[in-house]
Structure 1
Amino acid sequence: MSDVAIGAVGFACLFVLMVLRTPVAFSMLIVGFFGMLATGGMRFASATLVTESYSAVTNYSLLVVPMFVLLGNVASEAGFSRGLYDAANAWVGRFRGGLASASVLGCAAFSAVSGSSVATAVTIGKVALPEMRRLGYADGLSTGSVAAGGTLGFLIPPSTGFVIYAILTEQSIGRLFMAGILPGVLMCSFFIVAVWLTVLRRPEAGRRGPKLGFGERLRFLAGAAPLIAVMVISIGGIYVGAFTPVESSAVGAGLTILFAAFRRGMGLAGFRNAILETVQTTAMLYAIVIGANVLNPFLAVTHIPDAFGELMTSLGLGAYGSLAMIIFAYVLLGMFLDGLAMLVITLPIFFPVITGFGFNPIWFGVVAVIVIEMGMITPPVGLNVFVIRAVAGDVPMATIFKGVMPFLAAMILCLILIIAFPQIALLIPNSMFG
């Protein structure tokens, strides 16, 4: 059996394991180890397992993950997310559909400290959904806005998706973080437009909230000031060169803990919960990185990336035709796989093709993350939809999937614009790093 055939069998086994509900990290670890055992023997497989696992967990850049995850968990336990939502609601809630728009803005703001799509959707959903239900918002609009808004946690820095992408492709985490800012703002704006168009077509779907005076709006904004300050200092510090991404994550986490202690918004039990959730999430992400590091040498030895690149070239689709095929593959995989699983499994195969066609790797990181975001709200998996279903209680899944459709259209439009105008993603990182 040829090396490519062994690689194809290994890839098929990987998907079988995931269909059988084996965690993606262990699926990659199993296939990578036994694949190298088949191609190079026990000594080669054992040496690769040990060295790649060690290099993965000792990667200094990966410290960004636990620090930003801790930041988001402390902010959630301390109730800072409520302040973000209340501030957004104070400024846009008076408009028709304003609470849904406030949910999107709250998700965007919380994304800048959490880095997680699911955490963002759950945190803002617990605050926003009861309020929208109280004011008689349509279930589709309320759940759809939070499910879609939560996906911003995978795009707006600090994004765990960008961290994993940077580790696997050896790109700059700082450049990727900066590349996500303008696309994140653009997508947030498109989501608000989607809310506006929904209530324009169905005014009863989202009624207006009370109109507040300017002084009262400033008071609510002041309530969100601690978390806004953390965003400005941590992300702004990267932009001006004061911090590296790792230092920024530590500064942000430290400031959030200090603010929570000063405001007495979190007791010891809450802090313990934040630590435990951080450890659990970090362990899961580290396991995925270890699994990817063990799988990648097997793919390289069996020449799967080279074979895929030759296949794409032989089809004669050209650079953008090949990009379209890769995006289509991501859309299909997104219907069945978790976002991080898609990223770690496909990057070793797709990334060499993308760079071979001359596409900017930082720009492709943004494109890949947006497509993966789309998978978070598309059936039949739609991870964020399942999360919101758990938070919303009695809202049917079909209603939530229907509610996210306008936001999915907004994501597609945003993706098209970023492909057509790469400078949307590259303007800030190029201005910083030259």
Structure 2
Amino acid sequence: MSDGIIGLIGIVALLTLLLLRLPVAFAMFIVGFLGLWIVDGWNVAAGLLSSETFTLASKPELVVIPLFILMGNVASASGMSRQLYDAAYSLIGHVRGGLASATIIGCGGFAALSGSSVASALTMGKVSLKEMERFKYDDRLSTGSVAAGGTLGILIPPSTGFVIYAILTEQSIGRLFMAGILPGILLLMVFVLTVLILCLIQPSFGPPGPKTSFSEKRRALVGALPILVLVLVTIGGIYRGFFSPEEAAGVGAGLAILYGLFTRSLSFSALKEAITDSVVTTATVMLILIAAHLLNPFFALTHITETVGNFLAYLDLSVLGTLLFILAVYLVLGCFLEGFAMLVLTLPIFFPVVLELGIDPIWFGVLVVLTLEMGLISPPVGINVFIVKSVAPRVPLGQIFRGVIPFWLAMVATLGVLIAFPQISLFLPNTMFN
């Protein structure tokens, strides 16, 4: 049996294990280790398992993952998510669809603290869904805005998706963080525009909330200032060159803890729970990365990358056509696979093709992460949809999926804009430290 056939069998086996709901890391460990054993012997497989585990775990840049996750968990435990929502609510809650728009803005702000789409959807769902239910919002708009707004967590820095992309492709974490800012703001604005259009077409979807007084607005905005300062210190510090991403993560986590302790909004038990959750999440991400570094040599030995490159060359597509084809593959896979699984499965195959075509790897990273976002609300997997369902159990799952359709179309439009105008993604990375 040829190496190429073994590689294809490995891919089919991996997809099968994932569809059977085996955890991503374990599925990759099984296929990568057994594949290497078959192709190159036990000694090579066992040697890579031990060496790659140590090599990856000793990379200093990976420290950004636990620290930024800790910053988000502490921010959530100390009530910062509520302050974000209250500030947005005080400004636009009185207009039609204002609560849904405030939820999306709150998700964007919390994304800049957590870097996690699931955490953003879960946290803001707990804060806003009861409020929208109280004001008789249509279930499709309320749940759809939370599920879609939560996806901003993987695009707006500090994004765990960008960290994993950077590790797998050996790109700069700082440049990727900067590249996600303007696209993230653009997508947030498009989501808010989507809410306004839906409420213009069907006013009963989002009835207006009560107006807030000037003093209430001022109090809510002052309450959100610590979050703004925290984001400016961490992300702004990276942009200006004051901090490396690793240093910024440490500063951000430390400031979040100090704020919680100083305001007495963070109890010892809440801090302990935030640390525990951060350890569990970090361990999950690390297992996936280690498994990916075991799977990648298997792909290389079986020449899967060369096969895909030859196939794309056979199609004789333009550079833009090839890019659109790759993104279409991500969109299809997003209906069935979790985002991190997509990254570790596809980047070793597609990234060499991207470099050969001269596509900017930072720009490509933004486009890939945005397509991963779309997978978070695409049926049948749609992780964010199931997260919202857990917060709003009375709303049928079908209603939530119908609610995210307008936002999914908005993401397609945003993806088209980012493809047409690469400088939206590349402006900030290209002006770092200037």
Deviations 1:48-105 (A, max 9, x none): 1111111111111111000000001111111110001000101111111100000000
Q: Which residue of 2 aligns with 1:256?
A: 256
Q: Which residue of 2 aligns with 1:64?
A: 64
Q: Pairwise CA RMSD of aligned residues?
A: 1.0
Q: Which residue of 1 aligns with 2:179?
A: 179
* CA–CA separation in structure 2 for the residues paired with 1:306 and 1:28: 20
Q: Which residue of 2 aligns with 1:314?
A: 314
* CA–CA separation in structure 2 for the residues paired with 1:417 and 1:395: 33
Question: SS of the residue aligned with 1:224?
Answer: helix
- Normalised to the residue count of structure 1, the TM-score between the two structures is 0.99
* CA–CA separation in structure 1 for the residues paired with 2:60 and 2:303: 29
- 1:205 deviation in Å? 0.9
* CA–CA separation in structure 1 for the residues paired with 2:200 and 2:185: 23
Letter matched to residue 107 of structure 1: C
2:86 equivalent to 1:75 = no
Q: Which residue of 2 aligns with 1:18?
A: 18
Gaps of 5+ in 2: none
Letter matched to residue 155 of structure 1: L
- 1:212 deviation in Å? 2.0
Q: Structure 1 stretch 304-313 or stretch 157-166: which is displaced more?
A: 304-313
Question: SS of the residue aligned with 2:102?
Answer: helix
Gaps of 5+ in 1: none
Letter matched to residue 136 of structure 1: K
Q: Which residue of 2 aligns with 1:161?
A: 161
* CA–CA separation in structure 1 for the residues paired with 2:140 and 2:402: 6
Letter matched to residue 264 of structure 1: R
Deviations 1:115-173 (A, max 9, x none): 00000000000000000000111100000001000000000000000000000000000
Q: Which residue of 2 aligns with 1:243?
A: 243
Q: Which residue of 2 aligns with 1:270?
A: 270
Q: Structure 1 stretch 140-149 or stretch 297-306: which is displaced more?
A: 297-306
Deviations 1:368-395 (A, max 9, x none): 0000100110111110000001101200
Question: SS of the residue aligned with 1:17?
Answer: helix
Report sequence identity in percent. 53
Q: How does 1:122-271 map to 2 (within 5 A)?
A: 122-271=122-271
- 1:214 deviation in Å? 3.0
- 1:322 deviation in Å? 1.4
Q: Which residue of 1 aligns with 2:388?
A: 388
Letter matched to residue 403 of structure 1: G
* CA–CA separation in structure 1 for the residues paired with 2:245 and 2:183: 19
Letter matched to residue 315 of structure 1: L
- 1:217 deviation in Å? 1.0
* CA–CA separation in structure 1 for the residues paired with 2:72 and 2:110: 8
Letter matched to residue 153 of structure 1: G
- 1:327 deviation in Å? 1.2
Letter matched to residue 152 of structure 1: L
Detail structure 1 runs of 4+ shifted over 3 Å in the superposition: none
Question: SS of the residue aligned with 1:136?
Answer: coil
Letter matched to residue 156 of structure 1: I
- Normalised to the residue count of structure 2, the TM-score between the two structures is 0.99
Q: Structure 1 stretch 97-106 or stretch 296-305: which is displaced more?
A: 296-305
Q: Structure 1 stretch 27-36 or stretch 99-108: which is displaced more?
A: 27-36
User: Does the 8 Å CA contact 2:104/2:188 hold for their aligned counterparts?
Assistant: yes
Size of the aligned set, in residue pairs, is 434
- 1:433 deviation in Å? 6.2
Letter matched to residue 7 of structure 2: G
- 1:215 deviation in Å? 3.2
Letter matched to residue 75 of structure 1: A
Q: How does 1:273-288 map to 2 (within 5 A)?
A: 273-288=273-288
Letter matched to residue 276 of structure 2: L
2:264 equivalent to 1:303 = no
Letter matched to residue 102 of structure 1: A
User: Does the 8 Å CA contact 2:241/2:433 hold for their aligned counterparts?
Assistant: no
* CA–CA separation in structure 1 for the residues paired with 2:27 and 2:262: 44
